[in-house]
Every structure is written in structure tokens, then in C-alpha cells.
Copies of this chain bind each other. A is one copy, B any other.
Amino acid sequence: MPQQLLNKHRATLDGALEAIRTRGYWSAYNEMPSPKTYGETAADDGKAAFAAHLGQAFELDQPGSTGWHGGERSPYGIALNVSYPVCDPEVLIAAGRKAMDGWQKAGVDGRTGVCLEILDRLNKQSFEIAHAVMMTTGQGWMMAFQAGAPHAQDRGLEAVAYAYREQSFVPTETVWDKPQGKNPPLVMKKHFEIVGQGVGVVVGCGTFPTWNTYPGLFAALATGNAVIVKPHSNAILPAAITVRTIRAVLAENGIDPNLVTLCVASERSATQKLVTHPAVKSVDFTGGNAFGQWLVDNARQARVYAELAGVNNIVIDSTDAYKAMLRNLAFTLSLYSGQMCTTSQAIFVPAAGIDTEDGHKSYDEVCADLAKAVAGFLSKPEVALAVLGAVQSADTLQRIKDADSGALGHVVLASCKLDNPEFPAAEVRTPVLLACDAADEAAYMEERFGPISFIVKVADTPAAIALSERIVSTHGALTAGIYSTRPEIIDAMTAATMRAKVALSINLTGGVFVNQSAAYSDYHGTGGNPAANASYADAAFVANRFVVVQRRYHI
């Protein structure tokens, strides 16, 4: 059966393998919620499927169940009231280990086929999952659909493709035939078996419960491991739907469904016990530095793939498309109220201002114009509500309030609370823009997650590039940007990003934004600065998740 699934989805796998080889544009899953792709009734069916979860106990039929837990609070203010089975982590780990044997025997092709079938089934649930993502994270609808469903599925498929490539490279058997001069050769048959390292735990985050979970989930699964998904306490539903579908596909194909389970815990100590269990060999984590560092310090029995906080930044030296640049930045700063790990937080502008096609602009003018661009972009309520979504956490609301108070810098653009007629209780906020001096490091040189950005006045462009490099090297970043009309400045920034190891976007003025990362083409994180010790996805993301056990004998 699993092998037949590989045949069924062979074109998808081949497409992904070619895409990771060329890194050109490709996608397996339509990012537009089109009825042609997803079916005429898909939108309504998906919404209904989501609504059917509300107020219900979400059955998963997992072992070790001890009770029910829920408590997700929607940033849109709607009542969710879903409860999930709480299962003893020891039981889940033991069940996962037991299931690994059959999964190993399915082989590379079998595992890959099952993973492709899972992704296909998740794709068919895109609307249901998108609503679950939207309502638990506060993302706007279109982003919830794209990032929460097809883009997340693409990131999962990307990991499956890397896993397939690396595993396929290992031959299943060989004949080793060593000449011995005039004597008969030494001849041995050798077999090579791919064995998963153990149980993988994937710890999800509250803002992108599928996009940041699927890479680690599918990387660990495709390479022969059991996986326990530990979702963020406020974004359980998208993970629960995902796990239920995975378990269904596994069972249909004769694989013990306990290979993949959901671990919902009401206490942090349960998570800590889970990730430090000797049988847990990998932990994928997206989230804050405190728990990330705790993981690195304590889960030493496992390989930790961590995406943590950073200070993303942009250097503005000059531009020949001033308005387009401002529009591009305004969108970046507004999208999902800046609650992306890739949103720019610090924008460096020379004290003497910048040259543009529209003449020289002083530092103050750049500040004012960017503020105007953001305010203008968000002036239409329907645009603003669609782009901003809602604020995911009380902590972020507090950070916006603190920034608005002027304590961190001069307020160039204050945050506004917007009303969402469809969701009256939604917490909607526009971005706050602050102006400060490069010397005010305490203000801008720490991640302030949410729609809070600093326009930092630096001595000149070389100082800005040096500052960017230092920030990335010491505090980390997933994204960096440069605007310049001067090739030597772009070269200098390029060299700085190579030293600091961060992806660079150059002169973005159109429909691509510094905070966007496309599967198969853009590396999400380099794994070389403090913001992340791994990248989505590459060989390093999969190669350590399995080992090869050989046996040899004379023939």
C-alpha cells in the first residue's frame, strides 16, 4: 500500500525534487482559495467543518488519555471552547516507539508515499485548517489560508523531498569485492537499513501553528521517526486537525497510528518532562529565547532545531523608487500586525538622509513619509482589517501600549485600535513606528514581537551596515534588507550578511516582501546566527534524523 501511494503522488515528489534542485518558483498546492482547485463547495464545507469543532471534545483515540483540556482564546473574540484529550507523555512516547518498527519496515518509498498522501489530504482540508489557523492566531483570512494551508503544506513537502533525497542516496545493499592480488578477492554482501533516531517532538508556536510545525513534523516522520506534536496552548486546533488526519492516513495504510500523536499539556512541567525524555531524539521548536535556551541547555539527549527571536533589520542608503519602497515597507510592517518572525524591526537611515529619484530626503522626512505610507495603506478599513488581522497575545498588546507611550523612542506613528464589524471583540491594532538614535541600543536591539518598528538614525551607510552585521551576529535575524542605488553599497551589505549569515533582500519595491519566504526557493533562516540553528529546509534539516545500520557477511 505505502509503495502504491508513492506511485500515486510521484509527480508531486518529482516536482518538489526538481524545485529544491533548481530553487526556482514551484508549488504543489494552489495558494488561491479557488473553487476550481478546491471544489465548488470547499469554502462552505471547510467553514462548516471548522464550526463543527466549536464547543466540542476533539476525539483522537490516543492511548494514555487522562482527561480533557482546552482554553484557546480567539484573538477575534469568538468562543472556541474546544477540548482535547490529555494523554500521559510516557504512554505517548512508548506508543510512538512501538509504532516505529512498522514505519521503518515501510522503507523510504513507503514512508515517502504515506507522507505525500497525508499532505494531499491536508490540502483537501485547507479551508477547515485555514479557519482554525485564523481563529486561533488572529491572522487575516487570506494569510490564514495561504500560510496556514498551501504554503505550510509546501514547507512540509519540501522537508519530505529533502528527506527522500538523502535517504534515497543510501543504497539498500551492495556487494563489496576487494581484490587480493593473486588470491581470490574478499567478497561481502552488505545491507544498509535506515532507522529513525527515535521519537521527535515538535513544539508549535502561537502565530503559525502549521507553517512552523510542518517542516519539523514531516522531516522527522519521513526519516522514520515517531512524532509527538506539542502545540502552543492557544493554537491547538490546527495541530489537532493535522494529527487526526495523519493518524487516519497511517491507519488506512496499515501503520500504527500512534506513530503520530498530539500532546496537550496544561502545565509547562509536562512539556519539560516530554522534551527531556531519553527516548526523545529530536525537538523542533519555534518560539522565544527563554524556552529555546532552556531546551538547548536541558534537552541534550536530543538534537534541537530551534527558531528563536531576532532583530530583523533593513538598511536604507538610497533608492530610485521612493514611493514604491515606502509602499513595500508599509505592507511588510502591517502584515499580520508585524507578528511574523520575519517582520523588520529596525530600519537604519543615515543621519544625513537619503538620495531618491524625488530628490534628497532628510532622516525626519523618511520617518514622516514612512508613517504616512503606513497610515495611507491602512486608511481603507477593509484593507486594514484583512492585512492586520488581530493581535494574538496579551503580551503583544502590552508591548504595543508600552511602545505607544514613547518610552522606547519618539512616536512617529501611533498605534490605533480598529473596530472589526464582523468580530466586534477582535483586538485590532495598527503598527507603531518609533524614531530613535543608533545609540539607543536598549530600545531597538531586542526583539519586540508585534507591530513595533524603529527608524534608527545612524551616522552614515557604512555605520548602518556595520550595525546590521553586529545585530545579526549577536542577536540574530531571519531577514535583512538593503535599499541602495550604489553597487558598492549593495556589495558591502552582501558581504556583511555573508559574515553574519542572514538572507538579504535587495531593493524590494514590488509584490515581494522581505518577510516572505517561499518554499523550495528561499531558505527560511540560515542556521548560522542566533535567530535559528536550522533552516527550512536543507540537507542538515533531515540528515541527522536517521542513522544507517549495516550488516555484512561473506558470499
Q: Which residues of A contact B (CB under 8 A)?
A: 21-25, 104, 165-166, 169-171, 174-180, 186, 188, 190, 192-193, 195, 197, 296-297, 300, 494, 497-498, 501-512, 518, 521-523, 526-528, 535, 538-540, 543-544, 547-554
Contacts and interface: CB of A to CB of B under 8 A. Distances in A.
A548 B521 contact: no
14 contacts: A24-B176, A24-B177, A25-B178, A176-B521, A195-B528, A494-B551, A504-B549, A504-B552, A505-B552, A506-B552, A526-B547, A526-B549, A535-B547, A539-B543
A551 to B, nearest CB: 4
A23 B190 contact: yes
Contacts of A540: 540, 543-544
A358 to B, nearest CB: 20
A111 B547 CA distance: 28
B505 A551 contact: yes
A522 B544 contact: no
Contacts of A175: 24
Contact of A498 (B104, B498, B502, B552): B104
Contacts of A507: 553-554
Contacts of A180: 511
B21 A518 contact: no
A69 to B, nearest CB: 33
Given A23-B192, A498-B193, A544 B547 contact: no
Contacts of A21: 169, 171
Contacts of A300: 296-297
Contacts of A505: 551-553
Candidate in A192, A300, A523, A551 with the most chain B CB atoms within 10 angstroms = A551
B195 A501 contact: yes
Given A501-B549, A522-B552, A539-B543, A174 B24 contact: yes
Nearest to A297: B300
A528 B494 CA distance: 39
Given A23-B192, A178-B518, A506-B553, 17 more contacts: A21-B169, A23-B174, A25-B176, A104-B498, A195-B528, A197-B528, A297-B300, A497-B551, A501-B547, A503-B551, A504-B549, A504-B551, A504-B552, A522-B552, A523-B548, A528-B549, A539-B539
